[in-house]
Chain A
Amino acid sequence: AQKVTQAQTEISVVEKEDVTLDCVYETRDTTYYLFWYKQPPSGELVFLIRRNSFDEQNEISGRYSWNFQKSTSSFNFTITASQVVDSAVYFCALVDFGGATNKLIFGTGTLLAVQP
């Protein structure tokens, strides 16, 4: 069965520290997509990145970087030089291609608190 595990429930760091949010997934599909979304206190989820299973290149976007490793079924997210504005809940998600629905399966989220 498809599953996404975010073992870190809460992380607290001090501003300017680097922090890595872990995501481990399970799927039998050879073709799948992985996502990261950010949920600030306002509530709506904001898209950060989408990665398909055939593209294992790491990605960097400003202070954000993602490490996709199929060998360990992980898609970890690193924030460099964290800022208070990074405080949010971060969700990792996997597209389930079983059946015709292509549904997103979310992890339970990691609450990141960045202290000034």
Chain B
Amino acid sequence: DGGITQSPKYLFRKEGQNVTLSCEQNLNHDAMYWYRQDPGQGLRLIYYSQIVNDFQKGDIAEGYSVSREKKESFPLTVTSAQKNPTAFYLCASTESRGTGGAGANVLTFGAGSRLTVL
């Protein structure tokens, strides 16, 4: 079945360490997104990519980095520069074409990764 796989589901990090969250999709979607979810704050966009080898910052990109070397993969690195990294991270994907472009299309989400800084 097609879908998005995020790993690991739970991750613990010591302060000062970088960690990378994996996101893989087999939906042949062009666009991929990373969101951060905190209690009471909804979902906030970290980075997005509409095509391989290209990505843009979202609303809260500071302290994060991404790469898009393959269409099916969009890993997110949480760097030591991120001051408050404890959160639930969601990856999503969609097709880029269609009326209104990628944003107007329905997003498919992964099951998320919960990062806790010790």
Q: Which of A's residues lie within 8 Å of B, judged by CB?
A: 9, 31, 33, 35, 37, 42-47, 50, 52, 91, 95-97, 101-104, 106-109
Contacts and interface: CB of A to CB of B under 8 A. Distances in A.
A45 B41 CA distance: 15
A97 B102 CA distance: 11
Interface of B: 40-45, 48, 56, 58, 88, 90, 92, 99-104, 106-112
A61 to B, nearest CB: 15
Going nearest first, the 3 A-B pairs with the smallest beta carbon separation are A102-B103, A43-B112, A106-B42
Given A43-B88, A107-B42, A95 B100 contact: yes
A102 B104 contact: yes
A31 B40 CA distance: 28
Contacts, number: 63
B106 A47 contact: yes
Given A44-B110, A108-B40, 11 more contacts: A44-B111, A44-B112, A50-B106, A95-B100, A96-B103, A97-B103, A101-B48, A102-B100, A103-B103, A104-B43, A104-B107
Contacts of A106: 42-44
A102 B106 contact: no
B111 A42 contact: yes
A101 B56 contact: yes
Nearest to A108: B42
B104 A95 contact: yes
Residue with the greatest number of chain A CB neighbours at <10 A, chosen from B42, B102, B103:
B103
A8 B64 CA distance: 31
Contacts of B56: 101
14 contacts: A9-B40, A33-B100, A43-B111, A44-B109, A45-B43, A47-B108, A95-B104, A101-B56, A102-B101, A102-B102, A102-B103, A103-B45, A108-B40, A109-B42
A30 B32 CA distance: 26
Contacts of A43: 88, 90, 111-112
A109 B43 CA distance: 9
A45 B106 CA distance: 11
